[in-house]
Amino acid sequence: MSLVYHKELDPHTSFAIWKIEESADELLAKLQLKSHEISYLDTLVNGKRNLHWLSTRVLLRRMMNTEEYIDCQVDPSGKPYLTNFPHHISLSHSFDYAAVMVSRTRRVGIDIELIKDKIERIAHKFMNAGELAFISQDRIEHLYVCWCAKEAIYKLHGKKNISFLDHIRIMPFNYPGSGTFEAMLDLGTRINTYTVHYDKFDGYMIGYVSDNNEE
């Protein structure tokens, strides 16, 4: 497993991308897992699901830079959190890569996706007509930026009742390959605005976001 991408958003917030090159046993040897985590691993089918779970935990351990046990739990909505550290975290994976975002002061969300043509077929399921109208000639990559942005905001918010199509809106932006743009999460009672960052890396799209309000 090798670190292939690292970016610091502020002194307390950063993310990293790792290429998964080890076997499950090699990854497992880098972790301190409790019995409930071993039991969960046993429920996963050997292969990518197993490697993805292990690799995100290994990368998290690397980013936390600690020898202590990291108790990474998942809440009822599926959002990962740490019980014995104050940091906010977000995890993602796609094919041969794992991604982890960590912040001491802000809620965060990250998504990494392998770029494929198939996104054209489902664009209408997560983009409204106004959003689709500003998609550029680089349609596939532009659409992946929007998907990763919505997924990252969804992960930051951490609640299952959020619809990509109905609740998360992307403000029009051009696609030069990397950059930032604004997006909104409409919760009905209030609207949260986020600055979304995105980068293209080795045929993958990365979208990431942090809460505007420090804790």
Q: Tell me, yes or no, whether 215 lies in a domain.
A: no
Residue at which a domain ends, from 67, 90, 107: 107
Q: What percent of the chain has pLDDT over 70?
A: 98
pLDDT for 180-211, tens place per residue? 999 999 988 899 999 999 999 999 999 999 99
Residue at which a domain ends, from 85, 107, 129: 107
Residue 2 banded pLDDT, cuts 50, 70, 90? confident
Q: Tell me, yes or no, whether 20 lies in a domain.
A: yes
What domain range includes position 58? 2-107
Q: Tell me, yes or no, whether 188 lies in a domain.
A: yes
Q: Are residues 35 and 67 in the same domain?
A: yes
Please give the helix or strand (H or E) that residue 126 lies within, else none.
helix 119-126
Q: Are residues 37 and 97 in the same domain?
A: yes
Task: Give me the CATH number covering residue 162.
Answer: 3.90.470.20
Taking alpha carbons only, the member of 114, 121, 101, 93 closest to residue 201 is: 114
Residue at which a domain ends, from 107, 142, 165: 107
* pLDDT for residue 215: 53
* pLDDT for residue 160: 85
User: pTM for the full model?
Assistant: 0.95
Phi, psi of 28 (to 5 degrees): -60, -35
